[in-house]
Amino acid sequence: MRFAGNVIWFVLGGWYIALLWLLGAALFALSIVGIPLTIAALQMASLSAWPFGREVVHVRELDGRGVSATTAVTGTIGFIVNVIWALTFGWVLFLAYLVAGLLCCLTLIGIPFGLQAFKLAGISFWPVGRRVVTSELATLAREQAAKAKFASYRGATT
């Protein structure tokens, strides 16, 4: 089912929005400051072209300790770079996904595609510090992060 959803999504315009991500990646690759955006935009372009069966998780959810090796990219620098992205390509991608989602939701069979577009719209503003993973890995990472947080509330260590 994922394969069929991905093929339909790609044919009906997923490739087009992925090109916007690639354009942003190419422009930000020209500067050293834009390298974190380039990496994030390339991952999001892949997700935009083939979204079903994959999800986006924050890097802290993937690291069992809650601290990532890329803390600098998710900290203050990540915040600044994400603001730059939101002001340049983020709002364009948000509008593209919003229009795509609304068009998809006009038909009953298009509703799952519309919901996917709305999910991608939210991600389009803040891509740095997130990773594209399989749905199974995302579920496992979120469960592990929830267990660690619960243990910290109880005062236990994991």
Q: How do the domains of the chain map onto residue ranges? A: 2-154
Separation of alpha carbons 67 and 51, rounded Å = 27
Find out whether 122 and 48 touch, Cβ atoms under 8 Å.
Answer: no
**pLDDT tens-digit map of 55-81:** 888 887 877 554 444 444 557 777 888
3-state secondary structure of 54: strand
Residue 58 phi, psi (nearest 5): -75, 150
Say whether pTM exceeds 0.85. no
Torsion angle defined by CA atoms of residues 17, 21, 26 and 31, in that order, rounded to the nearest 10 degrees: 150
Separation of alpha carbons 74 and 68, rounded Å = 8
Mean pLDDT of 133-144: 89
**pLDDT tens-digit map of 4-48:** 888 888 888 788 888 988 998 899 899 887 888 888 889 889 998
Find out whether 133 and 55 touch, Cβ atoms under 8 Å.
Answer: yes
Tell me the pLDDT band of 156, cut-offs 50, 70 and 90: low
Residue 134 is inside which H or E element, if any? strand 130-134
